[in-house]
Amino acid sequence: MENPGLHEELISQIAQGSEAALADLYAEFKNRVFNTALSYLQSVTEAEEATQDVFVKIYQSAARFEGKSSVSTWIYRIAVNQALDRLSHRRRQKRFGFMLPFYKKDSTEPGIVVPHFDHPGVALEQKENARILFQAIESLPGQQKTAFILSFIEELPRREVADIMQVSLKAVESLLHRAKANLRERLDDFFPGRRI
């Protein structure tokens, strides 16, 4: 059960340098942060690193938390931004991959390309379907991807998704409508006739 008052108290203590408060906040939010990062990055290793980065960022910026949104919303916003930063870095690495020494061109650089992603939380018999779905999600434009991940994978209320993305509720609904249309088009070859 969410306890906004406790969360705000923990942030206040973290702002004063309390590592114990950070550990408590980490224990409560680490799984949600990790799952969000994993949905974007499709790499367990990178998602674990991103999760650590998120809590470092929380520790560094707790004093600037103004309470304009809930602590949960603020943490999700940091998690999304960290994941997007890593994706941007990955794309830059890929773009300038031609500058790597010749002998590295055929090697696999970790985190640059994610051709197949097996989500660790998916049952074995569903892994192939999940892999296809995550490949389709990966192809969505940025805002559509964020709205879809937060709404349908993290299962957050639309109002909180709007707050995290700092857009209107109507904008979230529009993004989700376009995301579902794009996914339906991409997945139709694999799952003909199935509604998304």
Provide the CA 180 distance to its chain's centre, in angstroms: 18
The pLDDT-based confidence of 1 (bands split at 50, 70, 90) is low
* Average confidence (pLDDT) over 128-145: 84
pLDDT at 111: 37
Contact assessment for residue 184 and residue 176, using Cβ atoms and an 8 Å cutoff: no
Output the pTM of the full model: 0.77
pLDDT at 93: 66
Q: What is the pLDDT of residues 99-134, one digit of tens each?
A: 444 333 333 334 333 445 555 554 445 556 677 888
Cα(127)–Cα(150) distance, integer angstroms: 21
- With H, G, I as helix, E, B as strand and everything else as coil, classify residue 173: helix
Q: What is the DSSP letter of 86?
A: H
Selected residue with higher pLDDT from 165 and 95: 165
Of all residues in the chain, the percent with pLDDT exceeding 70 is: 75
Q: What is the pLDDT of residues 28-43, one digit of tens each?
A: 999 999 999 999 998 8
Cα(79)–Cα(157) distance, integer angstroms: 17
- The tokens describing 170, both together, are 């109507």
Domains defined along the chain, listed by start: 1-114 (1.10.1740.10), 117-196 (1.10.10.10)
Place of tokens 């969410």: 2
Q: Give which of 178, 146, 168 is closest to 36, Cα–Cα.
A: 146
